[in-house]
């Protein structure tokens, strides 16, 4: 019974200390849809930023250089990165893509720290030929670059507890208007509150209710075990009486005299 008691206590402590993980799918609602019907959303795959993601998947999907992966992941962890969500769109005429992602942090201060780090890491103010002006989006910067045959533009901005990146690329030319337009759409669509905290509050309420139910069940189980033990203690097999009365008609069970049952 000692082992069982420790197990029950451990379960009880675990239930009280468990904290529900945030539902990252809630972040999907803060990203905008494609510019128009010519764009098709990509399917979830191991090499596409589509759906919820963690730091490792994010850096491995979006960057090919290990030094960049290590630096970005290290900064994300340092800034308290909670998780993210991505949406990817593509079209064939011309062959092009759009990738949106949102990265969640504990508060606006941590998000701004991560944004400023990214700005210092990626953005060179003196490289006017490749900088993309985004005056309509507060706390933002943009740049263009080439990756193989692709001509791409990345636009970063911070809002509330989040850092957003909107990328647009094509093989024919830089999609400057598409990138700026979509980034502005995402900025306008993005919330000013912490959607994960709201979702977690609801989850916490459910968790508390679940813990309450578990505690009630635990109490019922413990009570049943105690009753069984008491019953077993009172049932002494015939012929094995602890103390008999002088006339041999009663035996003492430790609490009261019980009649001897003759068989």
pLDDT tens, 213-251?
A: 454 666 575 666 556 655 555 554 445 445 666 776 776
Which structure tokens are listed for 159? 């809002």
Other beta carbons within 10 Å of 27: 26
Return the pLDDT at 4: 34
pLDDT tens, 172-200?
A: 999 999 999 999 999 999 988 888 875 44
Return the pLDDT at 251: 67
Other beta carbons within 10 Å of 43: 9
Instruction: Read off the pTM.
Output: 0.69
Which structure tokens are listed for 137? 């989006």
**40, 214 contact by CB (below 8 A):** no
Helices of type H across 123-175 = none
What is the residue-level pLDDT of the chain in tens, covering all 263 positions?
333 333 444 444 444 445 557 789 989 999 999 999 999 999 999 999 999 999 999 999 999 999 999 999 999 999 999 999 999 999 998 999 999 999 999 999 999 999 999 999 999 999 999 999 999 999 999 999 999 999 999 999 999 999 999 999 999 999 999 999 999 999 999 988 888 875 444 444 344 335 454 546 665 756 665 566 555 555 544 454 456 667 767 767 777 777 876 65
* CA 5/CA 18 separation, integer angstroms: 20
Return the pLDDT at 256: 77
**132, 174 contact by CB (below 8 A):** no
Query: Mind listing the domains of the chain with CATH numbers?
Result: 1-21+205-263 (no CATH), 31-193 (3.40.1000.70)
**142, 130 contact by CB (below 8 A):** no
Q: Is the peptide bond before 94 cis (omega within 30 degrees of 0)?
A: yes
């Amino acid at each position: 019974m000692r082992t069982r008691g420790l197990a029950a206590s451990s379960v009880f402590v675990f239930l009280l200390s468990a904290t529900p993980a945030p539902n990252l799918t809630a972040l999907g609602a803060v990203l905008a849809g494609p510019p128009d019907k010519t764009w098709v959303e990509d399917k979830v795959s191991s090499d596409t930023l589509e759906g919820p993601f963690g730091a490792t998947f994010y850096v491995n999907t979006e960057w090919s250089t290990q030094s960049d992966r290590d630096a970005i992941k290290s900064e994300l962890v340092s800034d308290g990165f909670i998780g993210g969500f991505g949406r990817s769109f593509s079209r064939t005429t011309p062959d092009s893509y759009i990738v949106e992602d949102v990265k969640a942090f504990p508060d606006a201060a941590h998000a701004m720290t991560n944004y400023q780090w990214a700005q210092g890491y990626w953005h060179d103010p003196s490289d006017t030929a490749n900088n993309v002006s985004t005056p309509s989006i507060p706390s933002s910067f943009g740049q263009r670059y080439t990756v193989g045959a692709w001509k791409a533009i990345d636009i970063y901005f911070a809002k509330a507890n989040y850092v957003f990146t909107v990328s647009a690329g094509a093989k024919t030319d830089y999609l400057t208007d598409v990138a700026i337009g979509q980034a502005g759409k995402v900025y306008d669509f993005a919330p000013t509150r912490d959607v994960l905290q709201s979702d977690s509050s609801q989850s916490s309420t459910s968790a508390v209710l679940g813990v309450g139910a578990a505690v009630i069940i635990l109490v019922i189980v413990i009570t049943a075990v105690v009753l069984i033990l008491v019953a077993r203690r009172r049932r002494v097999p015939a012929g094995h009486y602890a103390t008999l009365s002088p006339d041999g008609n009663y035996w003492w069970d430790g609490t009261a005299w019980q009649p001897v049952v003759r068989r």
